[in-house]
Amino acid sequence: MSPFVLLALLAAAPPVADAPVPPEVRKIWDKAPHNAFTDLIRWRDRWYCCFREGAGHAAGAGTIRVLTSDDGDTWTSAAVIAQDGADLRDPHLSITPDGRLMLNGGAAVPPTRNPVTDHFSFVSFSSDGTNWTPPRKVVASWQWLWRVTWHGGMAYGVAYAWDPKDKAKGYSAALYKSRDGLTYEKVSDLDRPGGTEAALAFDGDALLCLLRRDGTPNTAQLGTSRPPYTAWTWKDVGTSFGGPAMLKLPDGRWLAAGRMSRESKPQTVVARLDLGAGMLTPLVTLPSGGDNSYAGMVWHDGKLWMSYYSSHEGKGSVYRVKWTP
């Protein structure tokens, strides 16, 4: 082959795509025996990460630690939220219409769980990220309000319920809304047996729900609803997905983070979420194993920033991720 033909072929060949850049993962907290169940938000040009500190996954009186950082690399403790006689857990952060930070989570009473006499949801608010209002109970007992998403001046969240006297009945989930984050009214039942943890996101006026299911079957569900959000259509994503979080990127792609079975073990993954097909396609598996997942997701300066926890290095620790997907 002549050099001229070779040059012509090379010129006509499509460019080789750059290899994906692996995510930058950094441990940011491991001071408690067990550090878990994270969320992440950017507020007033600073990062805030919240999570539960405790003796174990469901052991003792857990408290909520709030970290802050100006660069996402160096983190300091901003606050600890606690309640006497209760195990606080699974915190999530949002920003209220009037510009305050809101934290919602679950509480088990007593912390020893011997036996549990009450299990409820709570909220706490802050105007500076450091000083927080005392945890206040919301919705009814034995209902767990998961992530809260604000839209049009209204807070939306899925609460899953169970009957402590009838464990065979299983879980049921419903959509709730609130104008102030304190008083909630039911909008609709999510007719998905075993539905528990849920991530909500708006695409225009369409409300999307990525719903974990426990029991049989345990495959996660992708729901879509239109105003007034009383009717839902569902797609089975075909795999279990624990601690779901999801985020729409500026270019229109949707990403989801959660716990999936990878190489026969539970690991935290970031996946492409195909709304049309209702499919999750793993893009990257983060360093993780054992007790792990429960991510927070934020898009900032052209990168995906995340928090999650994992016990693959010996105990539950909190990690920060920075990645260009």
Please give the Cα distance from 122 to 132 (Å, whole number): 13
Q: What pLDDT is stored for residue 20 in this prediction? A: 67
Please give the Cα distance from 295 to 209 (Å, whole number): 16
Which residues does 287 contact at the CB level (< 8 Å), separation at least 6?
25, 310, 312, 319
- pLDDT by residue (tens digit) across 194-204? 999 999 999 99
- pLDDT by residue (tens digit) across 53-108? 999 998 889 999 999 999 999 999 999 999 999 999 999 999 999 999 999 999 99
Kindly report the pTM of this predicted structure. 0.93
Phi, psi torsion values for 271, nearest 5 degrees: -125, 155
Reference 209, options 165, 171, 174; nearest CA is 174
Please give the Cα distance from 154 to 181 (Å, whole number): 8
**C-alpha pair distances (Å), 79 with each of 66, 85, 130, 316:** 5, 19, 5, 20
| CATH class assigned to 21-202+291-323 | mainly beta
- pLDDT by residue (tens digit) across 173-229? 999 999 999 999 999 999 999 999 999 999 999 999 999 999 899 999 999 999 999
Amino acid, single-letter form, for residue 157: G
- The DSSP string of 244-311 is EEEEE-TTS-EEEEEEEEETTEEEEEEEEEETTTTEEEEEEE-S--SSEEEEEEEEETTEEEEEEEE-
- Per domain, the residue ranges of the chain are 21-202+291-323
Look at residue 167 and tell me whether its pLDDT is greater than 90: no
- Residues 238 and 196 sit within 8 Å (Cβ to Cβ): no
